[in-house]
Structure 1
Amino acid sequence: MINDDITGLQFHPLRDSLYEEMHSRPFQVIPSPARVSHLALMADDIQRVSQFEHLQELFEILGATPPTTDEVCAEYDLGAFRIRREKHLEFTTYTFIHFDAPPRSDPFASTGVTPLPSGWLERLPGQVVTAFHLSVEDSGKSEDEKLMLPRVKSYFEGMRLVGSSPQQGDARVWTSFRLHSDHFGRFLICNKRMSDSQLGRLAQRLMEIETYRLMTLIALPLARACAPDLAKMDRQLAALTQRLSEGGVIDEQAILGELTDMAARVEDYRAKTTFRFTATQAYHELVLKRLAELREDEVSGHLTVTEFMTRRLTPAVRTCQSVGERLEDMSKRIDRVSDMMRTRVELSIQAQNQQLLASMDRRSKIQLMMQHTVEGLSVAAISYYSVGLIKLVMDAIYDSGVSFNKHLALGVAVPVVISSVWLATRKIHKHFLALAKEQRDADLADEKARKEVSK
C-alpha cells in the first residue's frame, strides 16, 4: 500500500512560489467581438505605489470593492469590463477589455478605455511607452479579400498596412505600427475560426510584440548619441598610438592626461548604456520568440509582422550591439595604451634613477676621500692636543721633585699617542661599517620575502 502522507517531509520555503510562478501570467480569454486597449508605462517603485492607489480609486468611482494586494499580475472583472495589470522589471502594463461595445462600422470608434471615467487615464502615474487599441472582429469565412482590404485600410486612416494570416489562416491581423490621430497605435484581428482561448493567446502575443518592440528601441537614440563621440575618441586614440610608435620626445604627462579623460568618458558612457543595451538584447529575443509563436502566413501584397520586424527592428538592435562592443573595445584599447605609457614613464624614471644613483656614487666617493682626509687631520689634531696634555702632566711631576728626562719621555709618548688615536679611530670606523652592512642585509632579506609573498 502506497503511503500518501508526506506531511513529515521538509519542503523548501520557495516551493509553493516556484509552482505559482509558472501560472503568474496566464493567457487571457477574449471573445469575439471585443475592444482591447493596452498601455505600458515605465515607472519606479514610488510611481508603482501611486499606480496601485490610482487603480483603487477607479474601483471606488465604479462602485466596486477595491483590491487590497498589489500583485505581480492581476485581473479584475467588472461585468462587461475587464482590467489586467502586470508589473515587470522596468514597466507596468494595463490591459482594458470592453466586451459589450456597440457594433459600429469603425471598430476603433469604441475602444477598451471607453468605459473609463473621464480624466482617470490621463492621471495615471508613469511615462507611457506603449499605447494602442486592439479590435477583435468576426470575419466571414467566405469574405472576399479584395473587398475587405479597402475597408480595413480606412480603419487605419489610410496608412500603409502590415498584415498576416497567423495560426494557419484562422485569423487576419492588420496593423500599421504607427501612431494615429488619437495618439494610440492600432491592431485589428479578424477572427475566422479561432476559439476565445486562441484569440486570447493571439492578442497576448501581439500586445507583447508591440510592447517589447518599443522597449527594444529605447536604446537606439542613446546609441546614436554615443556614436559620434566614440568616433572622435577613436581617431584621437589612433593618433596617440601613432605618436607612441614613432618614438621621439613626447610629453608623457599630457598624453596620460588625454588618456585619463578618454577613459573617464568611456566609463561614463558604459555606466549609462550597459543596462540599456543588455535590456535591448533581452527584449529583442522575446520579440523574436513571440513572432515565431504567431506562425504567420503571408497576405498577398503585404509585409507580414515578422518581415516588418526583421527588416526594421533587427538593424536597430545591431546598432546598439555595435556601439556596446565599440565601448568595450575602446576601454580595452585605452587600457593597453595607458599600460604602454606607464611602462615608458617607468623606464624613464628608472633611467633617471640610475643617473641619480651614479651621481650619488660619485659624491659618495668624494665624501669618502674627504672623510679619510678629515680622519687623518683628526688623528693629528687629537694627537697634538693629547701630547700637549701629557707634557703638562710631565712638567707638574718634574716640578714636584721627581727627576727624569722630560724630553726623552715626551719623545716616547708621541708615537704611542698617535698610534692609540689612530687605532681608536679605525675601530669606530669599522663599527659603523658593520652596522651599515647589517642594515643592508636586513633590507635585502625583506625585499626577498616580499617577492616570495607576491609570487
Structure 2
Amino acid sequence: MSAKLSSMDFHPLRADLYLELHSRPFQVIPCHARITHIAVMITPEQRQQQFEHLQKLHRMLGEPWPEQEVSCYEHTIGPLRIRREVHMEFASYTFTNLETSEADPFTETGISPLPDGWLDQLAGTVVGAFHIEVRPSTQDALSELAFMRKYFEGMRLIGSSPQNGAARVLGSFQLHSDQFGRFMVLNHEMSDSQLGRLVQRLMEIETYRLMSLLALPLARDITPRLNDMDQKLATITQSLADNESLDEQALLAELTHIAARIEAYRAHSTFRFSATRAYHQLVLTRLEELREDEVSGHLTISEFMTRRLTPAVKTCEAVGERLEDLSRRVDRASDMMRTRVELAIQSQNQQLLSSMDRRSRIQLMMQHTVEGFSVVAISYYLIGLLKLVLDGLQDTGVIFNKSLILGVAIPVVMVLVFLGIRTIHHRFIRMARRQ
C-alpha cells in the first residue's frame, strides 16, 4: 500500500519549484524550417501591452487566444509556431515557419506568415532580431560552404560544426540589408529534438551577447568623466600630502561634488554592469554546450566571442571597478580633509581657551585691585556713619574725645572690612570649585 502525503503541510511554492525547471522547454524543430527570433526590451506597462497584442494576433488568425500571461508561451497555428518568453528586462519572440518551400534561404522567414502590420505595432525596444535557416546537409563540405556564403551579402562569416560535426552553423553576427541578422544551420545527423536544442542555444548566444553589450556605450560615456574626476582627486590628494595652505571649505565642497557625481554614475550603471556579467556568463555556458569543431578557414563562434565579446565585457567590469575605487578614494580624501579641519578647529579652540585663561587672570588681578579700592571706599563710608553717630551723641551732652575715637576706629574698620571681603571672596571660590 503506497504512502499518502495528503495530510502533510506543503510549502506554498512547492508546485512552482517543480514547474520552474520545465517552464522553458526546448523546441522540436524539423530539418527544414525558417525561424525568426526577436528580443525586445520592455517596461512593466509594455509587458501588458505585448500580451494584449499577442491576443490580438490570435484573433487575427482566427484562433483562441491565451487568457493569462505565462513566462513561456508556445502555440502552433497552421505552419506558424509562436513562442514568447518573458525575462527580467526583455521578452523574446520566436516565430517558426514550418511550411515546406523551395525558395532560396532568407527569402521566406519565420515572420512571413504573420499578418501585415502586426509586428510593426509590437511594444518595446528591439535589441536583437535575426533569422535562422535550417536545412538538411548535402554531405559535401565544400559545396555546403559555397552554398551558405551566397546568402550573407558578402560579409565575413563565423561558423563551426557543433556537437562533434553533427551539424554545420554559419553566421555573420552583423545586420544585413533587411536589418536582421542571419544564421544558417545545415543538419547532418541530428534528430528534431537535438536540432531544437542547437537552435535554442544559438538564439540564446546571440540574444545574451547583444544584451551583455548594452553596457559598453555607457562605459565609454563614463570613462572620460572618470578621467577628469580622477585628475581632480589626484590634485587634491597631492595638496594634502604637500601640507600646503588650503581652503578647506572649498576643497570639501569639491570632494562632495565629486562624490555626488560618482554616486550618480553608480546608481545609473550598477544594474547594467551587473547584468552584463550575468549575460556574459550565460553566453560562455551556451558556448561550452555547443561542443564546436572548427570549419576550415573560419573562426568558431567561441573564438569570435572570446576575441570580441570578452574584451568588451572586461571594459565594462573595469569601469565598474574604477567607480568603486574612486568612491573609496574620495571617502579617504574626505576623511583626511575632515581630520585636517578638526585639527584646525582644535587648534583654534586651544588658542581661544588660552586667550580666555589670560583674560581670566587679568580680570582676577583687576578684581584684587578693585577689592583694595573697595576696602577704602567702604571704610570711608563706615567712618562717615560713625562720625554722624558721634556727632549725635555730643549734641545730647555726652562728653568724649571724638577725634581720638575716630582715629582709633579707622584702622579697626578697615581691617574688619578687608577680612569680610576676603571671607566672601573665598566663599565664592569654594562654591565654584564644588560646581
Pair in the same fold by TM > 0.5? yes
1:6 maps onto 2:5 in alignment: yes
Runs (5+) with no aligned partner, structure 2: none
**CA contact 1:165–1:171 (8 Å) conserved in 2:** yes
In 2: Cα distance, 1:213 partner to 1:273 partner:
18
Change (3 A) 1:115 1:438: farther
**Deviation (angstroms), 1:411:** 4.5
**Deviation (angstroms), 1:421:** 3.3
In 1: Cα distance, 2:419 partner to 2:65 partner:
107
Q: How does 1:54-453 map to 2 (within 5 A)?
A: 54-104=53-103, 106-140=104-138, 143-401=139-397, 404-439=400-435
In 2: Cα distance, 1:245 partner to 1:420 partner:
67
**Deviation (angstroms), 1:210:** 0.5
Change (3 A) 1:355 1:16: same
For the residue of structure 1 that corresponds to 2:131, the secondary structure is: strand
Q: Structure 1, residues 22-70: CA drift from partner, whole Å, max 9, x if none?
A: 1111111111211111111111111111111111111111112221111
TM-score (norm 2): 0.94
1:53 maps onto 2:52 in alignment: yes
**CA contact 2:36–2:132 (8 Å) conserved in 1:** yes
In 2: Cα distance, 1:159 partner to 1:309 partner:
17
More deviation, 7-16/258-267? 258-267
Runs (5+) with no aligned partner, structure 1: 440-455
Instruction: Kindly provide the amino acid, as one letter, of the partner of residue 118 in structure 2.
Output: W
Change (3 A) 1:394 1:249: same
More deviation, 213-222/331-340? 331-340
**TM superposition outliers: structure 1 runs of 4+ over 6 Å:** none
Change (3 A) 1:270 1:282: same
Change (3 A) 1:215 1:385: same
**Deviation (angstroms), 1:168:** 1.2
Instruction: Kindly provide the amino acid, as one letter, of the partner of residue 188 in structure 1.
Output: M
Instruction: Kindly provide the amino acid, as one letter, of the partner of residue 78 in structure 1.
Output: I
For the residue of structure 2 that corresponds to 1:155, the secondary structure is: coil
**CA contact 2:137–2:144 (8 Å) conserved in 1:** no
In 2: Cα distance, 1:134 partner to 1:307 partner:
21
Change (3 A) 1:84 1:366: same
Q: Structure 1, residues 160-206: CA drift from partner, whole Å, max 9, x if none?
A: 11111101111111110000111111111111111111111111111
For the residue of structure 2 that corresponds to 1:39, the secondary structure is: strand
More deviation, 28-37/3-12? 3-12
**CA contact 1:101–1:110 (8 Å) conserved in 2:** no
In 2: Cα distance, 1:386 partner to 1:16 partner:
107
In 1: Cα distance, 2:416 partner to 2:99 partner:
125
In 2: Cα distance, 1:435 partner to 1:204 partner:
91
More deviation, 405-414/373-382? 405-414
For the residue of structure 1 that corresponds to 2:185, the secondary structure is: strand
**CA contact 1:41–1:126 (8 Å) conserved in 2:** yes
For the residue of structure 2 that corresponds to 1:130, the secondary structure is: strand
Q: Structure 1, residues 89-113: CA drift from partner, whole Å, max 9, x if none?
A: 1111111111115231x22111111
In 2: Cα distance, 1:76 partner to 1:432 partner:
99
**Deviation (angstroms), 1:402:** 5.1
Change (3 A) 1:393 1:28: farther
More deviation, 214-223/342-351? 342-351
In 2: Cα distance, 1:437 partner to 1:60 partner:
95
In 1: Cα distance, 2:412 partner to 2:70 partner:
107
> % of aligned pairs identical?
62
In 2: Cα distance, 1:99 partner to 1:423 partner:
121
Q: Structure 1, residues 249-305: CA drift from partner, whole Å, max 9, x if none?
A: 233333333322222222222121111111111110000000000011111111111
**CA contact 1:35–1:101 (8 Å) conserved in 2:** no
Coordinate RMSD, CA, aligned: 1.9
Q: Structure 1, residues 332-381: CA drift from partner, whole Å, max 9, x if none?
A: 22222222222222222222222222222221111111111112222322
How many residues in Structure 1 have an aligned counterpart in Structure 2?
435
In 1: Cα distance, 2:144 partner to 2:409 partner:
138
